[in-house]
Chains A and B, each alone.
Chain A
Amino acid sequence: MMKRWKAGKRLVPLFVGLTFLLSACGREDLSALRPQGPVAQGQFDLMKLAITIMLSVLVIVFGIAAYVLIKFRRKPGDKEMPKQVEGNHLLEIIWTGIPLILVLVLAVATVQKVFAYGENYWEDKDAVRVKVTSHLFWWEFNYPDYDITTAQDLIIPTNKKIAFQLKTADVIHSFWVPSLGGKTDTNTEGTINTAWLEAEKEGVYLGKCAELCGPSHALMEFKVKAVSQESFDNWVAAIKQPVEPIQDPALAEVFKTQCLSCHAVGDQGGPMGPNLTGIGNRETVAGILINEEGSNKPFPGKPVKDNLIEWLTNPQEVKPGNHMPSPKEDLGLTDEEIEGIAEYLANVKLNY
């Protein structure tokens, strides 16, 4: 017991130092080392424990190695064979025993957290339920309790458990918001996963797809926007409001036949592509073109209209391999029509 306490005492400064060192790493809204919610925090604590144990192992091994390499170099005078040692039972037991203890310490913490994060809050009345469906290469978020479907920006209230059901519409993806918590794969029908996350502060957190899913795997990003309960309620109300249609009848017709066959805006359109309601003040277009209108601007973006035009002019260039037909090549839209639609969509905003 005494020995373990001593070892523990030696680890404390290492642990504290690590916290400072690691927490300086990466962006607050992206890095797993700067947790913004209880799940990520717990995982970060586990990481620190593991790193601390492992660093002490490294220090011991490197120490012995350095000593041996310096002390036992072969010198010109070394003509006699060194003493041949068969082994040493005591030493061997020591270096079997100590790793075993270290592993046990880590194993206890691991098992505890495995069960904590494996908890299913889907039936919890206080939790906000979200069904996540991954598509090549975008994310669909469905709130069954509010009858809302949206895409790319996941709006959640702070300090509430968000219970997820995750599945995929095509290949396997993985749902990951590093600063809120680790990832969970989105499997096919029949093997649907659950997970939960919670955000403590308001803010926008970067989410990524973490399983290779085809050409645009790298670009399959999304944002988690944590807002106050009040804003969340406003958002729920706002997204259900009817959206004003395009004024120009010719353009409205083009929009209806070419865009709304897949996309939904307000109560119109289809569920094939991402829902576009509120795209005017989303964080990004297509998950990667950063909008000036979004709220998370550690780095400047472009006006949403410009981003929309860029996307609509050549979607394959922005996101190779995506399933949207090119408005220009495949659907025959003119530059003016594209600009008109971008202009219109840029003004489809949600106040919350």
Chain B
Amino acid sequence: MDWLTTVDHKKIAILYLIAGGFFFGIGGIEALLIRVQLWKPMNTFVTAQQFNELITMHGTTMIFLGVMPIIFAIMNAVIPLQIGARDVAFPFLNSLGFWTFLFGGLLLNLSWFMGGAPDGGWTAYAPLSSTTYSTTHGVDFYTIGLQIAGLGTLIGGINFLATIITMRAPGMSFMRMPMFTWTTFVTSAMILFAFPAITVGLVLLSFDRILGANFFNVAGGGNPVLWQHIFWIFGHPEVYILILPAFGIISEVVSTFSRKRLFGYSSMVFATILIAFLGFMVWAHHMFTTGMGPVANALFAIATMLIAVPTGIKIFNWLFTMWGGQITFNTANLFAIGFIPTFVMGGVTGVMLGSAPADYQFHDTYFVVAHFHYVIVGGLVLGLFSGLHYWWPKMFGRVLNETLGKIEFWTFIIGFHLTFFLQHFLGLVGMQRRVFTYLPNQGFDLMNMLSTVGAFLMGVGVILFLVNVVITARKPVGVENDPWGDGRTLEWAIPSPPPEYNFKQLPLVRGIDAYWKEKMAGNKEMTPAEPVGSIHMPSPTIIPFVMSVGLFIAGLGFMFTTDDFGNSFLNFLFNNYIVVIIGLGITFGSMIVHSLYDDAGWHIEPEEIDGKGAEA
């Protein structure tokens, strides 16, 4: 019950981690089923229809329900601590964001049990995603599930923006913010601009499907290419929404374990902003073969290649952060070091894809599959593992097992390269992506087989991580504030795990890498910026949970409004929008309750703080 009502950012982080991990597992199982099917030519392990459902759900689940929430978990756990805040700006919204994400994700995955999952690819291109060609409710689950889940992401993004703008500790100017905070800030801004686009697209598509609108229907005056533009205006920035936090994590980890400050901090900040900006300018490079004409293709090609420049700045800055340092090779840093070359490989193939005429050959082949898995798995997932190992002690008060961690790293990264490196060549020799099978003797057989072996190795790596988590959970809590010994940022100045209020007294920040600076000055703890006083805390509340349940019910009801259940009572309930009304009633009702009931929160008094023996 405590977990359903919590508004504490640290607990919400754990909720995000568990839920994100759960969906990540589902997405991973889907990936393995895909690889089993492609193990040999003309395999019949799954049917063509099931395969299309698997690839659609694998992509959708991993992007929206797997890695995004795990990013949010880390952000939630770390950001308030890094900027010296007691919570996020809007704790209630933070909880609401989590619950809408969870219920949106559950709704999407219900499709497996309710007559068919979405099957139009994660991009759901029209007209394939229209009711004419996708006849099950799969795509309805996609549009409505993602709208609800996307709401959570948007709420989270806005919350982090507000938090970082308004709640930095005294002395922490923007140019003294840790790099992870910076990337979170920029990522949140991108979410703010990108997610409304996908929401609009999903609304239009559900109108087409459920209410018979014609936005993407040529016969009715619509245009399917419109969907592609809307989707990618969101879809391309989304890639950077995913990767920027990983950049932040790597910056923190590499710097800590080289015992050096980040090389070229201001150019890193500048590069991050530039990447975000360019990220919005290049969406049409997903559409070079759509027929936009040579002028548009040329412009988008050049804009795309330009992204290599700020990304290159980052890569070299990381390398020169390590230059002259004292590098410790623990698991967190292994993942970070593994990230650098792997991500560079994903980056260079990105530039290759940006060259439009060459893209005519690469587009929609396994070359693209290889490329974006190098970026998303080789970049983001390695980054996430690095971040999880790095901040685990801060979140849970226990250090993950190092030996197991190293085995986990090597299995995962070897499996990863085995799986995806070969896929570049599969694409170049003529294998399209999203094929449920392939004819023998085309030169695809051996590479596909090895790729499948690699995928299972990656699976073993992930399982080892889970084993590590379980083993670690059985150890007693109680590592010190700064278990790595070289922590540089504010979160390492407080106990692990932090007390409910994070900082007894808000710290005074006197430069970049605030905690490290104090340590170098010979201080054991941060200089406080305020006297010890009573700390205001927000009250726990069940309302966000109830609101999300309401949206879940309304979404489910909306989908089936035109169905005939062969049961007059059910028909009555659904066809008259009664279920929708009940669902929305629950949501709006809880909003009204929340508005009318004035909850001023509660306070932790100084005596209690001292009683707990917590230190600022």
Provide the bound-state CA to CA distance between A26 and B445, in Å.
11
Q: A182-B357, A218-B437 are in contact. Are A187 and B325 (CB under 8 A)?
A: no
User: Contact at A213–B128, with CB atoms within 8 Å?
Assistant: yes
Q: How far is the CA of A212 from the CA of B327 in the complex (A)?
A: 46
Any B CB within 8 A of the CB of A12: no
**Contact flags (1/0) for A206-234 with B, using CB distance below 8 Å?**
10111111111111010000000000000
CB contact under 8 A between A118 and B293, given known A69-B327, A81-B259: yes
Contact of A114 among B294, B351, B430, B442 (CB under 8 A): B294
Is B82 in contact with chain A by the CB < 8 A criterion? Answer: no
Contact: A74 with B327, CB < 8 Å? yes
Q: Mark B352-363, 1 if CB is under 8 A from A, else 0.
A: 101111111101
Partner of A110, one of B320, B355, B425: B355
Identify which of B291, B337, B443 contacts A27 (C-beta below 8 A). B443
User: In the complex, which of the residues B121, B312, B329, B429 contacts A30, with contact meaning CB atoms closer than 8 Å?
Assistant: B429
Q: Contacts A110-B301, A183-B363 known; A61 to B261 CB distance under 8 Å?
A: no
The reply to whether the CB of B23 lies closer than 8 angstroms to some CB of chain A is no
Stretch at the interface among A51-59, A271-279, A329-337: A51-59
Interface: A125 (CB within 8 A): no
Measured between beta carbons, the chain A residues less than 8 angstroms from B442 are: 27, 30, 206
Contact of A96 with B309 at beta-carbon distance under 8 Å, contacts A69-B322, A107-B302 already known:
yes
CB contact under 8 A between A43 and B357, given known A54-B348, A64-B319, A118-B293: yes
Flag whether A298 is at the interface (Cβ < 8 A).
Answer: yes
Bound complex: CA of A111 vs CA of B358, how far in Å?
Answer: 11
- A35 CB to closest chain B CB (Å) equals 9
Query: Is B260 located at the chain interface by the 8 A CB criterion?
Result: yes
Which of A3-11, A147-155, A188-196, A259-267 contacts its partner? A188-196
User: B331 an interface residue at 8 Å Cβ cutoff?
Assistant: no
Tell me the minimal C-beta distance from B307 to chain A in angstroms: 9
User: Given A58-B344, A187-B224, A320-B48: A103 and B306 within 8 A (CB)?
Assistant: yes
* Bound-state Cα–Cα, A321 to B329, Å: 53
Binary A-proximity of B301-325 (CB < 8 A = 1, otherwise 0): 1100110110011011101101111
Stretch at the interface among A83-91, A243-251, A305-313, A339-347: A83-91
- How distant is A98 from chain B, measured CB to nearest CB, in Å? 8
The answer to whether residues A208 and B430 also contact, given A114-B294, A118-B293, A218-B48 and a CB cut-off of 8 A, is: yes
Given the known A-B contacts A50-B351, A87-B264, A215-B49, are A103 and B308 also in contact in the complex, defined by CB atoms under 8 Å? yes
Given contacts A46-B357, A172-B128, contact A82 B298 (CB under 8 A): no
**Which of B309, B326, B344 sits near A72, CB closer than 8 Å?**
B326
Q: How far is the CB of B254 from chain A (nearest CB, A)?
A: 10
Instruction: Given A50-B358, A72-B325, decide whether A210 and B224 contact each other with a Cβ distance below 8 A.
Output: no
Which A residues are in CB contact (< 8 Å) with B523?
A: none
The answer to whether B263 and A110 have CB atoms under 8 Å apart is no
Indicate whether A210 sits within 8 Å of B365 (C-beta atoms), given known contacts A61-B315, A320-B47: yes
Contacts of A298 in B (CB 8 A): 441
Q: Are B323 and A114 in contact (CB under 8 A)?
A: no
CB neighbours of B436 from chain A (8 A): 215, 217-218
Asked if B173 is an interface residue, CB under 8 A from chain A, the answer is: no
B324, A83: Cβ atoms closer than 8 Å: yes
B48 touches A216 (CB 8 A): yes
CB nearest neighbor in A for B52: A215
What are the residues of chain B within 8 A of A157 when measuring CB–CB?
none
Inside 8 A of A288's CB, which chain B residues have their CB? Answer: 439
Residues in B neighbouring A84, C-beta threshold 8 A: 260-261
B277 within 8 A of A: no
A240 to B461, CA, bound (A): 63
Interface pair B443/A218, CB less than 8 Å apart: no
A299 lies within 8 A of chain B by Cβ = yes
Is A68 an interface position by the 8 A CB rule? yes
Against A, the Cβ 8 Å flags (1 = close, 0 = not) of B166-186 are: 000000000000000000000
Asked if B571 is at the interface (CB within 8 A of a chain A CB), the reply is no
Q: Is A138 an interface residue (CB 8 A)?
A: no
Tell me, in angstroms, the Cα distance from A182 to B362 when the chains sit together. Answer: 8
Residue pair B312, A172 in contact (C-beta under 8 Å): no
Interface residue? B223 (CB, 8 A): yes
Per DSSP, chain B at the interface is helix
Taking CB atoms and an 8 Å cut-off, the chain B residues in 417-466 that contact chain A are: 425, 428-430, 432, 434-443
Which residues of A sit under 8 angstroms from B351, Cβ to Cβ?
50, 54, 103, 106
Chain A residues, CB < 8 A from B356: 110, 113-114
Please, which residue of chain B has its CB at the minimum distance from the CB of A54?
A: B348
Q: Do B52 and A212 have beta carbons less than 8 Å apart?
A: yes
Kindly provide the distance from the CB of A268 to the nearest chain B CB, expressed in whole angstroms. Answer: 30
Which listed residue (A62, A102, A113) contacts B341, Cβ 8 A? A62
B116 within 8 A of partner (CB): no
Is the Cβ of B429 less than 8 Å from the Cβ of A27? yes
Alpha-carbon distance A88/B480, docked complex (angstroms): 35
Complex: A136 Cα to B354 Cα, angstroms = 30
Main secondary structure of the interface of A (DSSP, over half): mixed
With both beta carbons as reference points, the residue of chain B lying nearest to A40 in the complex is identified as B361
Tell whether B267 is near chain A: CB-to-CB under 8 Å.
Answer: yes
- The minimal Cβ–Cβ distance linking A139 to chain B, given in whole angstroms, is 15
Q: Which residues of B contact A182 (CB under 8 A)?
A: 289, 357-361, 363
**B residues within 8 A CB of A280?**
none
Q: Tell me if B585 is interfacial: C-beta within 8 Å of chain A.
A: no
Using CB atoms, name the residue of chain B closest to A77: B326
Contact among B309, B352, B358, B520 for A100, CB-based, below 8 A:
B309
Which of the residues A110, A189, A194, A215 comes within 8 Å of B357, measured between beta carbons? A110
> Does B323 lie within 8 Å of A72, measured CB to CB?
yes
| B332 within 8 A of partner (CB) | no
Question: Which listed residue, A31, A102, A109, touches B443 by the CB 8 Å rule?
Answer: A31
Q: A78-B326, A170-B127 are in contact. Are A190 and B360 (CB under 8 A)?
A: no
Instruction: Tell me the bound Cα distance from A221 to B430 in angstroms.
Output: 12
- Known contacts A57-B348, A81-B520, A215-B52; A114 and B289 CB within 8 A of each other: no
- Chain A neighbourhood of B309, CB < 8 A: 96, 99-100, 103
The docked-state distance in angstroms from the alpha carbon of A217 to that of B430 is 14
Query: In the complex, A84→B432 CA distance in Å?
Result: 49
A36 to B430, CA, bound (A): 14
Cβ-neighbour of B291 out of A62, A82, A191 (below 8 A): A191
A57 to B520: give the CA distance in the assembly, Å: 38
Contact yes or no, B259 A74, CB < 8 A = yes
- Given A95-B316, A185-B290, also A210-B364 (CB < 8 A): yes
Q: Does B495 contact A (CB under 8 A)?
A: no
Minimal beta-carbon separation of A218 from chain B (angstroms):
3
Q: Report A92 CB to chain B, min CB distance, Å.
A: 5
- With A83-B324, A87-B267, A299-B441 as contacts: A27 and B430 at CB distance below 8 Å: yes
Residues of chain B within 8 A (CB-CB) of A62 are: 341, 344
Q: Is the CB of A304 closer than 8 A to any CB of chain B? A: no
Instruction: Evaluate whether A183 and B364 lie within 8 angstroms (CB atoms) in the complex, with A58-B348, A86-B261, A107-B302 already known.
Output: yes
Residues on A facing B (Cβ under 8 Å): 22, 25-27, 30-33, 40, 42-44, 46-47, 50-51, 54, 57-58, 61-62, 64-65, 68-69, 72-75, 78, 81-88, 91-92, 95-96, 99-100, 102-103, 106-107, 109-111, 113-118, 136, 170-172, 174, 176, 178-179, 181-185, 187-191, 193-194, 206, 208-219, 221, 288, 298-299, 320-321
**Can you show 18 pairs from A to B with CB atoms below 8 A apart?**
A25-B443, A54-B351, A68-B327, A69-B327, A81-B259, A83-B324, A88-B320, A118-B294, A170-B133, A172-B127, A184-B289, A187-B290, A188-B223, A191-B291, A210-B363, A212-B121, A221-B439, A321-B49
- Taking A32-B430, A65-B340 as known contacts, 10 extra A-B pairs with beta carbons closer than 8 A to each other, sorted by chain A number, are A61-B341, A68-B319, A72-B323, A88-B263, A103-B306, A110-B354, A172-B127, A210-B364, A217-B436, A320-B49
**Which positions in B face A, CB cutoff 8 Å?**
47-49, 52, 120-121, 125, 127-128, 133, 218, 223-225, 258-261, 263-267, 289-291, 293-294, 297-298, 301-302, 305-306, 308-309, 312-313, 315-317, 319-320, 322-329, 337, 340-341, 344-345, 348-349, 351-352, 354-361, 363-365, 425, 428-430, 432, 434-443, 520
